[in-house]
Every structure is written in structure tokens, then in C-alpha cells.
């Protein structure tokens, strides 16, 4: 099944957003076949898109991982 999810986090400070996006990008480079994860910065917004041709459980686990990595990056700032 093909699925798509978009996660948007808005920050008060553009530099914080830039740091969070920089922390997330390395996690997006090596993903299993059928999964695509991309994170970009749009001003003060960090936007992560997940595209998957697979199981819904994989999509949920990927979203959980993105949010956990975002929280970890935010806690370091």
C-alpha cells in the first residue's frame, strides 16, 4: 500500500529550526527499500515528508522515529 505523511514543526527562531533540520537530515540518508524520508527547512518550519510503499506499521514506526529524533535535537539546543 502506498502511503504519505507530512510532519511540520514550527519554531520561534529560524536558527533553532535550521539546527533541528541539520540534525534530522543524516537519519534520512539510509532507509529501507520502498521508504523515502526527506526533511527541509521552510523559514521557521521544519517539514519532514515520509513516503512508503509498504505496511502501515512501518509508516507509524518511521513517524515515531522522526518525532523522537526531533525531540532529541530540540533538547540539545
Number of compact structural domains in the chain: 1
Cβ contact 47:7 at 8 Å: yes
Q: List the domain range (segments joined by +) for residue 22.
A: 2-75
| Burial profile 42-74: b = 16 or more Cβ within 10 angstroms, e = fewer | eeeebbbebbbeeeeebbeebbeebeebbeebe
Profile the chain (77 residues) by mean pLDDT over runs of 10 residues.
97 96 82 91 97 95 95 94
User: Cα–Cα distance between 50 and 62 in angstroms, integer?
Assistant: 8
Domain CATH for 20: 3.30.310.50
Q: Say what the pTM is.
A: 0.88
Amino acid at each position: 500500500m502506498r502511503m504519505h505523511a507530512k510532519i511540520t514543526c514550527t519554531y520561534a527562531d529560524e536558527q533553532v529550526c535550521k539546527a533541528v533540520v541539520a540534525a534530522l537530515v543524516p537519519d534520512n540518508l539510509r532507509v529501507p527499500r520502498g521508504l523515502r524520508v526527506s526533511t527541509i527547512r521552510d523559514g521557521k518550519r521544519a517539514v519532514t515528508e515520509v513516503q512508503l510503499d509498504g505496511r502501515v506499521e512501518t509508516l507509524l514506526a518511521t513517524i515515531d522515529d522522526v518525532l523522537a529524533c526531533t525531540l532529541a535535537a530540540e533538547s540539545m539546543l
